[in-house]
Amino acid sequence: MLYVHQAHCISAQHTFGSVDIDQLQPVVNNKLQVIEPSYEGIPTGVLRRMGRAIRMGVGAALPIIKSSQQPVQGIIIGTADGGLEDCIKFLNQIIDYEEGMLTPTNFVQSTTNAIAAQIGLLSANTSYNTTHVHRGLAFENALLDAIMLLQEDAHAQYLVGGVDEISAYNYNIDQLNGWFKKEPVTAATLYSTDSTGSIAGEGAALFLVNNEPQGASAAVTAVHLFQTTDHSLVIQQLHAFLQKNLLPKQEVDLFLSGENGDNRLTAYYTNCEQQLTPGTAVARFKHMMGEYATCTAAALWLANRVLKTQTIPAHMLKYDRKPGSIKTILLYNCFKGMQHSFMLVQQP
């Protein structure tokens, strides 16, 4: 278990600064690209050399670090493709300049740990600094890392987050592999379009977490991840997860589903819905954030906000079933039909 005390999210919606998630931003060319802020905390000379993933990660992290009254004992980032765009640029330069004088910036920022490293450098933090790169389970592994570290040092606090961008390289590969829709879709038609693929997304969500319930906005009480293509095994894992982590007679108030409009994956989500009580409300978020490997970080930001405000936008609800008092949220995500994760988020 860990407690969330601060959370910042840069996404395709107005989730950073003045938050407004009731009004949806349009899907453009089947992509949901982030609304980038002015990044006031990043020096201009440094900012113009940063890749987009690094800008997003640092931009969401610095306000948390600056407003924290206590220093963080570690920076833990989950990403699947952070820095990949700069890596491709550097490889292209090798060809273009025939291995001559190359620009070092793209090389320095071309590794996945560049996001955590830049956060550490700009905040002068020399503590634990690591990056988890596990495709669709990268953010969940970052959370588990923080949970284990807090078990070792109950008085520490950590900065944990998930960051990924839409790079030309990974978008083209995933499009060729059929993970994005070929026909134009909107946020309103994403879930009703009966076809393969989804819409591409990107974003950065960062959290300040520790073991202190006082002043916390949410508690991540359990995280479970596994890999399978067996639908029945997913149901078995869900039952075991809830039985282990819910109190007797305790129910899930909101099921936050990672359904993404891909008809190959819909059954995973509907099967899980059917295991919950009829009174459980169901909400979806990928028409807001798009599909990307660490979108569960943005989903955790949404869960945290729902618990704080006790409100949820109507466009997120799958059925005409509004939750009453929201105390327990179950987040489920399936990435590319193979990687699955459950997360239990509750009021502290």
- Please give the full DSSP string across 232-245, using - where no structure is assigned: HHHHHHHHHHHHHH
For 199-217, give one letter per residue: b (16+ CB within 10 A) or e.
Answer: bbbbbbbbbbbbbeeeebb
pLDDT in tens, 108-157: 666 778 899 999 999 999 999 999 999 999 999 999 999 999 999 999 99
Distance of alpha carbon 328 from alpha carbon 346, whole angstroms: 4
Instruction: Examine the domain organization and report whether 201 and 222 are in the same domain.
Output: no
**210, 236, 270 — which closes off a domain?**
210
Burial class, 317, CB count within 10 angstroms (exposed 0-12 / middle 13-18 / buried 19+):
middle
Give the end of a domain, one of 172, 191, 210. 210
Domain shared by 95 and 128, yes or no: yes
Joined together, the tokens standing for residue 20 give 């407004």
Domains of the chain: total: 2
Is 177 in the same domain as 242?
Answer: no
181 and 310 share one domain? no
H helix or E strand, kind and range, residue 38 = none
In this structure, are 235 and 295 located in the same domain? yes
Does 182 lie in the same domain as 236? no
Same domain, 102 and 162: yes
Identify the DSSP state of 133: -
User: Domain range spanning residue 42?
Assistant: 2-210
Query: Which has the closest alpha carbon to 136: 35, 260, 315, 303?
Result: 260
Q: Which of 128, 100, 103, 99 is nearest to 113 (CA)?
A: 128
Same domain flag for 233 and 178: no
Q: How far is CA 103 from CA 90, 98, 100, 118, in A?
A: 8, 13, 10, 18
Give the per-residue pLDDT at 82: 65
CATH number of the domain within which 181 lies: 3.40.47.10
Last residue of a domain, one of 210, 231, 263: 210
Residue among 310, 118, 347, 280 at smallest CA distance from 332 = 280
Question: Do 14 and 128 share a domain, yes or no?
Answer: yes
Dihedral (Cα; 144, 150, 152, 156), 10-degree rounding: 140
Query: Are 96 and 202 members of one domain?
Result: yes
pLDDT score for 66: 94
Residue segments in the chain with a per-residue pLDDT below the cut of 70: 82-90, 103-110
Q: What pLDDT does residue 109 have?
A: 62
Residues 270, 337, single domain; the answer is: yes
Distance CA 215, CA 209 (A): 11
- Model pLDDT, residue 112: 79
Q: Same structural domain for residues 247 and 127?
A: no
* CB neighbours of residue 24 within 10 Å: 19
pLDDT in tens, 219-257: 999 999 999 999 999 999 999 999 999 999 899 999 999
